[in-house]
Amino acid sequence: MADPLIRFREVTKEFSRPDGVGTFTAVDRLSFAIEKGEIVAVLGKTGCGKSTMFNLLAGLIEPTSGKVDVAGHDPFSEFNAFRGKMGIVFQNDRLMPWRTALDNVVLGLEILDAKRAEAEIVARRWLARLGLSGNENDYPHALSGGMRQRVSIARAFAVEPDILLCDEPFSSLDEMTARDLRAEFVRLVKQAGKTAVFITHHINEAMDVGDRIMVFHRPARIAYEARMDAASREGSGRQAIQDEILKVLSLETGEGMPAAPVV
Amino acid sequence: MTLNPRLRQFLQAVASMFVLLAAWQIASFFFPYYLFPPVQDIVVRTVRILVNWPELKQVLETAMRIFIGLAGAFLLGSLLAIPIGRYPKLESYITPFLVFLQGIPALSWVIIAIIWFHGTEFRIAFIMIITTLPAFTFQVLDSYRSMSKDLFEMTMSFRPSAWTLFRVLIVPTILPGILTAWKINLGNAARVVVVAELVGATGGVGYELLRQQQLFDMAGALAWTIQLVLFVLVVQQVIVWVENWLLRYRPVSERAA
Ligand SMILES: Nc1ncnc2c1ncn2[C@@H]1O[C@H](COP(=O)(O)OP(=O)(O)OP(=O)(O)O)[C@@H](O)[C@H]1O
Ligand SMILES: [Mg+2]
């Protein structure tokens, strides 16, 4: 079998505490591998280090120890090797307030030196796909939270990256819109043979979207893993996995965190 | 009756100006001409400068000196601020130096410039730049530091070149601060320029002021001073327009009337 596209080997990330005394471990000897073409859904209680894992994967922060490998490169030290190859939907929308919706989507293409006219065509198509035709010239402050989130999804997808990293991309959408986008997301990733890592708080969303589910401990380590297929998405198979995830998540003790995860 | 707030502000400004002018006019009845010339004489002199090319040219000359000084200080200040912003360790070396510069009075620079340099224009440019440089540097640095880490990481995730990062993120981030810095430093520069022109300028508002003093011509002195004030007001307004246009993306709360 070919090498996996993404591999974490015993990755640890410690942050220094604000008072400068000691460190805080957000990711603890985390290891996993993701094959090309896979969609992996990541579940875990709030504060367990999902976004931190994400930043490590994106090369935005450096592991304290261990090795992150993406397509044979280290995303942190070989940062520029991934130009145009990764698209990231951040947990918060991170739109530039001085750019219109259209120009925010154009941003990635602009950085990759696409021609303005072509970039605009692509950006308009993505906005339309996400139900935002007519809002192209609105500034972020004039958009609703869900609209902003969709603009940020369009921005990540417009560069047609090989690897998509999505941190709760559908969290501020209503259930109907989220369901449509979820289906569209899976179709897009599968159609184009892309690889995606998808963080979510919803067990059902994880089971619908992921080929595989990883449930994180706190600090981030894999507590449970399940492969999803036609059988395990239905009926009793689904129920069994759901029960298992719930069990793992409720075993997790967290400081000041809600006990029950969202189903 | 409720007035449009901007109109009300304008009327208030007019009213206070009117009181000041009236007081001046009354003083002109009781004091000798060379102390308090009547308002109409000052107005006539002011207008005459504006419509008389050789005199207007001197105002523009001074305006040009202000502009060169500000532009130079802005460029140098940005060149200093951006590396400090990127490598905060530099700050402990550069800040004391700038603070030291800030404490030196404009008049000392005049003396230094006369001893050090030849050439009036060069001396003036030196004084203008050195007196506005610290403020510009600190202001550009502050606006650079206000850059959002989230937007920075988002932009970095597309792997931009240094130049693209500068263009798409850093410039829009620091722009509001830069416009404010220009507004503030414009006033300072207008005050410094007349002092700087004492290095031996043979034209300009500072030179003319000195001449009016020698002639004991109060109306003339005021008329030349007013030119400078008018210049600052006009340029401030232009900056405000530019600001409103460039920063039009900014939301305004309906509470903030
Ligand atoms: N830059 C940082 N400096 C210090 N601590 C950090 C930093 N980033 C994250 N942490 C800490 O690491 C832990 C994990 O944070 P992270 O954002 O990865 O959680 P998460 O799993 O994404 O949570 P959520 O589901 O709420 O988004 C938290 O306790 C957080 O306080
Ligand atoms: Mg998170």
Integer Cα distance of B231 and A144 in angstroms: 44
Return the pLDDT at A244: 85
Q: What pLDDT score does A98 carry?
A: 95
Report CB contact under 8 Å: A90, B156: no
pLDDT over 70 percentage in chain B: 98
Q: What is the mean pLDDT of residues B150-171?
A: 93
Cβ separation of B157 and A159 shorter than 8 Å?
no
Q: Is the Cβ pair A60, B156 closer than 8 Å? A: yes
- Indicate yes or no: CB of B151 within 8 angstroms of CB of A96: yes
Task: Please list the residues that pair with A259 across neighbouring strands.
Answer: none
| Residue whose entry in the numeric block shows the structure tokens 């003396």 | B111
Does residue B240 fall inside a structural domain? yes
The verdict on residue B172 lying in a domain is yes
What is the per-residue pLDDT across A124-171, written as a single tens digit (0 to 9) for each? 999 998 889 999 999 999 999 889 999 999 999 999 999 999 999 888
Give the per-residue pLDDT at A252.
Answer: 66
Query: What amino acid is encoded at A51 in this protein?
Result: S
CA B94 – CA B81 distance, rounded (Å): 10
Q: How confident is the model at residue A235 (pLDDT cuts 50, 70, 90)?
A: confident
For A200-227, write each residue's pLDDT tens digit. 988 888 888 899 999 998 888 888 888 8
Looking at residue A174, its pLDDT comes to: 86
| B13 found inside a domain | no
In Å, how far are A27, A50, A58, A64, B200 from A16, measured between CA atoms? Answer: 13, 18, 20, 11, 59
Domains of chain A: 6-27+34-85+161-263 (3.40.50.300), 96-160 (no CATH)
Instruction: Report whether residue A165 contacts ligand 1, using a CB cutoff of 6 Å.
Output: no
Structure tokens at A65: 């120890």
Q: Whose CA is nearest to atom 1 of ligand 1?
A: A15
Residue ranges of alpha helices (H) inside chain A are 50-57, 101-111, 116-129, 145-158, 175-191, 203-209, 235-251
Q: Please tell me if residue A251 touches chain B, with a CB cutoff of 8 Å.
A: no
**A223, A260, B135 from A45: Cα distances, Å:** 12, 10, 48
B251/A90 Cβ within 8 A: no
DSSP codes of every residue in B86-110: H-GGGHHHHHHHHHHHHTS-HHHHH
- Which residues on chain A are in Cβ contact (under 8 Å) with B155? 107, 111
Looking at the domain assignment, is residue B56 inside a domain? yes
Give percent of chain A with pLDDT exceeding 90: 52
- Whole-prediction pTM: 0.83
Integer-rounded Cα Rg, in Å, for chain A is 19
Q: Quick check: B150 contacting A, CB < 8 Å?
A: yes
How many residues does this entry show for chain B? 257
Assigned domain for B211 exists: yes
Neighbours of B191 (CB within 10 A): 13
> Tokens 């034209």 identify what position?
B203
Residue range(s) defining the domain that contains residue B120 = 43-254
Query: pLDDT band at A248, cuts 50/70/90?
Result: confident
Take residue A32 and report the two structure tokens written for it. Answer: 């996993």
* In-domain check, residue B32: no
Specify the higher pLDDT residue, B131 or A252: B131
In a domain, B33, yes or no: no
Tell me how far the alpha carbon of residue B159 lies from the centroid of ligand 1, in angstroms. Answer: 23
**pLDDT score for B257:** 56
Q: Predicted ipTM?
A: 0.87
How many independent structural domains does chain B possess?
1
**CA pair distance B75, B57, nearest whole angstrom:** 26
Q: In what order do the strands lie in the sheet with A6-16?
A: A23-34, A6-16, A65-70
Q: How far is B162 from chain A (nearest CA, A)?
A: 11
What is the model's pLDDT at position A225? Answer: 84
Separation of CA B67 from chain center? 8
Residues of B in contact with A110 (CB under 8 A): 164, 168
Query: Could you tell me if A262 lies within 8 Å of chain B, comparing CB atoms?
Result: no
Ligand 1, pocket-test mutation among A23, A42, A48, most atoms within 8 A of CB:
A48
Q: Is residue B8 part of a domain?
A: no
Cis before residue A219, ω within 30 degrees of 0? yes
What distance in Å separates the CA atoms of residue B183 and residue B68, rounded to the nearest whole number? 15
Tell me if A193 sits within 8 A of A225, measured CB to CB. no
The pLDDT-based confidence of B65 (bands split at 50, 70, 90) is: very high
Determine the average pLDDT of the residues in A175-189.
Answer: 86
Q: Could you say which DSSP state residue B254 is in? A: T
The single residue listed with the structure tokens 């920075």 is B152
CATH assignment at residue B152: 1.10.3720.10
User: How far does residue A210's CA lie from ligand 2's centre (Å)?
Assistant: 18
Res A255 pLDDT > 60: no
Rounded CA separation A156/A215 (Å): 25
The preferred substitution site among A16, A51, A90 for testing ligand 1, maximizing ligand atoms within 8 Å of CB, is: A51
Question: What is the model's pLDDT at position A1?
Answer: 53
